[in-house]
Amino acid sequence: MKYFIKTFDNARILVEDLNSDIEKTILFIHGWPLNHNVFEYQLDFFPDKGYRCIGVDLRGFGESDRPYNNYDYDTMASDVKKIIDILDLKDITLVGHSMGGAIALRYLSKYNCHGVSKLSLIGAAAPSWVKTKDFPYGFTEDTVNAFIKDSLSDRPNLLKNVSDKFFFKYISSPMLNWFSNITLSASPWGTFKCLISLREERLFEDIEKVSIPTLILHGVHDLICPYEFAKYLNEKIKNSTLVPLNESGHGAFIEEKDKVNITLLNFIK
């Protein structure tokens, strides 16, 4: 079932809700510049295991509204809070990929884990997508600035370059075309404004506030969010387990979907 939920600024956020009569819930938050359809192989798997599965299109992506402003992590975390409150969700396993993992961490920090009992991070863009004085991993600010410039001048080429770096293992041409079409469906302004947020946002303090059981899944060949991100998260989140995915890049939920699904299933049982 698909429907929309309105946020504080009247943006309509698309929700795909499977098994809505079941209480135990998995809520999926996608990364940049994607939408909830990238979780196809999780949304195929978990409903048959007895879970309610909710996929969300973040503002500016997929079928959600495309406002020109408000693409910071606080706003997108408040969108997640609105969904959880409107649907009265409890005992949630929150699954965030890439930027979605960063938004999940901001949500847990800002709202004291409201409604969420477990967290899974897949290739999370945290604690910082860019290098800082004390965190020498990720892209440089200059590189992200070049991404933003490219997004404003030749967005399809930028997204092709991102898609080429996304996977480690062989991906069929039809699969890559499907994935590329998802990236191109994002709003142009949502695409570059989220790049600004990825450049500016820091989650070092947010991570310190997370104490719920956390499963960290991360491709060791990830070129978008280096594996060092996962090691840092595992060190700083007290109740966390890190599972390296040795045959994956940034798209582990596709590349090693069976391992991701079984590991996540065992974690939330």
Q: What is the DSSP string of 199-226?
A: HH---HHHHHT--S-EEEEEETT-SSS-
User: Which residue's entry shows tokens 């399809």?
Assistant: 156
Residues 146-157 pLDDT 10s: 999 999 999 999
pLDDT tens column, 69-104: 999 999 999 999 999 999 999 999 999 999 999 999
Q: Which of 36, 64, 97, 98 is an active site residue? A: 98
The candidate with the shortest Cα–Cα distance to 77, out of 113, 124, 26, 52, is: 113
CA distance linking residue 32 with residue 247, whole number of Å: 22
> pLDDT (tens digit, 9 = 90+) per residue, 171-230?
899 999 999 999 999 999 999 999 999 999 999 999 999 999 999 999 999 999 999 999
**Could you confirm whether 250 is annotated as catalytic?**
yes
> Between the CA of residue 233 and those of 59, 62, 109, 124, 218, what are the distances in Å?
26, 29, 14, 9, 11
Domains in the chain, ordered, with CATH? 2-268 (3.40.50.1820)
pLDDT score of 171: 87
Q: Of these residues, 120, 221, 222, 240, which one is catalytic?
A: 222
Crossing angle, helix 141-153 and helix 155-166, to 10 degrees?
A: 130
pLDDT, tens only, 164-173: 999 998 789 9
98 classed as catalytic: yes
Give the pLDDT band of residue 261 (cuts 50, 70, 90).
very high
